[in-house]
Amino acid sequence: MKVLIVDDNRDNLEMLGTLLSGNGYEVSLSVNGKEALEKLYSERFNLIISDVLMPVMDGFRLCQECKKDKKLKVIPFIFYTATYVDKKDEEFALYLGAQKFIRKPKTPDKLLEIVKGIFNNAHELNMKPQKSLTEEKKDVLELYSERLINKLEKKMLDLESEINKRKQVEMELRQLSKKQAVLLKEVNHRVRNNLTALLSMVFSEKDLLERKKLHKYIPFLNDLTARIQGLSVVHTMLTDSGWENLKLDQLCKKVINATLKYIYSSKRIKLNIISSDVFVDSNQAHNLALIINELFTNSLKYALQDRDRIAIEIKITEEDGNIVFRYSDDGPGYPQEMIRGDYSKISTGFELISGTIKHSILGRLKLSNDNGAVTTIVFGKV
């Protein structure tokens, strides 16, 4: 019996391959869905075991392609994943036509038992009519996009958690001068790779949605791209500075320029960031990058709705031992309920701003109108 194993993690690939080949199965290995499909078209296989989250082509797409093909759809398909573990992920996998959905890790004996059970029931599986996904193509695409977007949101939370861990590690490394350079380089490399991988996933999904004309998800992906890019800007600035404190006006400029790069706008934007010598530490910088990005994207969404141009000003000062960050635009201003502190009817983006200010930088938020919307944030100095 010949088994095709698909996983972009080389260690996982080799471990599962060794287990199966050591128990009498012929094994072939692939690192992504595209490579696996090429092998499936040229060789004969009796079973496919695939991860879900992979570059180039993920496991969901691979399963979908297999179940659309007359010859490949009869091959039993098993998902073996540590990333897509929700009940809805399992339901979608089985909807695509997979025979099993297994969450990592599983003991070797349990895996062998599952594989053996698939082969023992292979005749019964082949006798069952395989549903065609072509008639339900739109539903499949929407479900696929929903599962991927859900996973991207979770990846963002995981990334923020990893960044917080990295910051703790960085503080400890300051006391270990000889090991600091080597370990910090490794942590920076991991974070940069995660950010790059996230952006790649977002761009790939955005291209797919645009080709399939599922435009309702595009604004969410644009927002997500801007947030990831903002974190990437901060990480690059901190790495270049040796994790010293950052000049806040320069941080504002680079985050906004990065956002403009990935969110296209034909409108005219006049940006005035008043020069300031206020500095922030790494923790403040990461959180302020998210806040700056959300404020700027909100200006693009709401202040430019019926206009061709917008003026934005950022002023940063120090008062009574605190940093005062004032962001204003010349749009229609905030609704009165928001000024009173009621954010229940607004986007999750502004809820992110409010929560980050209160819990992460321990600051205060004030909204007002003065020839446009004014956002004032007061928080402690480094």
What is the CATH number for 299?
3.30.565.10
Per-residue pLDDT for 206 more than 80? Answer: no
For residue range 314-367, list pLDDT tens digits in order: 999 999 999 999 999 999 999 888 888 887 666 556 777 888 899 999 999 999
Last residue of a domain, one of 241, 267, 299: 241
Same-domain pairing of 339 and 357 = yes
Domain identity same for 43 and 56: yes
Tens-place pLDDT, residues 36-95: 999 999 999 999 999 988 888 889 889 989 998 999 999 999 999 887 777 888 888 898
Co-location of 119 and 150 in the same domain? no
Same domain, 210 and 181: yes
* 228, 297 Cβ separation under 8 angstroms: no
Cβ neighbors of 186 (< 8 A, separation 6 or more) are none
What are φ and ψ of residue 89, in 5° steps? -65, -45
Same domain, yes or no: 155 and 127: no
- Shared-domain flag, residues 285 and 371: yes
Q: What pLDDT is stored for residue 88 in this prediction?
A: 83
State how far the Cα of 230 lies from the Cα of 317, in Å rounded to an integer.
22
Query: In 3D, which of 39, 24, 58 has the Cα closest to residue 148?
Result: 58
Range of the domain at 138: 133-241
pLDDT digits (tens, 9 = 90+) for 224-243: 766 677 777 877 887 788 77
User: Pick from 84, 104, 132: which residue ends a domain?
Assistant: 132
Same domain, 194 and 108: no
Q: What is the pLDDT of residues 11-32, one digit of tens each?
A: 999 999 999 999 999 999 999 9
The residue from 132, 167, 199 where one domain ends is 132
Mind listing the pLDDT tens digit for each residue in 126-166?
A: 545 445 444 454 455 566 666 666 666 666 667 777 777 87
d(CA 322, CA 33): 53
Q: Encoding tokens for residue 321?
A: 């031992």
Determine if the pTM surpasses 0.95.
Answer: no
Please say whether the beta carbons of 28 and 101 come within 8 A.
no
N-terminal to C-terminal alpha carbon distance within the chain: 64
Q: Give the closest residue to 301 by CA, choosing from 356, 219, 224.
A: 219
257 vs 154, which has greater pLDDT?
Answer: 257
Give the count of domains, the chain: 3
- 251-255, 259-263, 374-378: least confidently modelled range: 259-263
Together in a domain, 213 and 268 = no
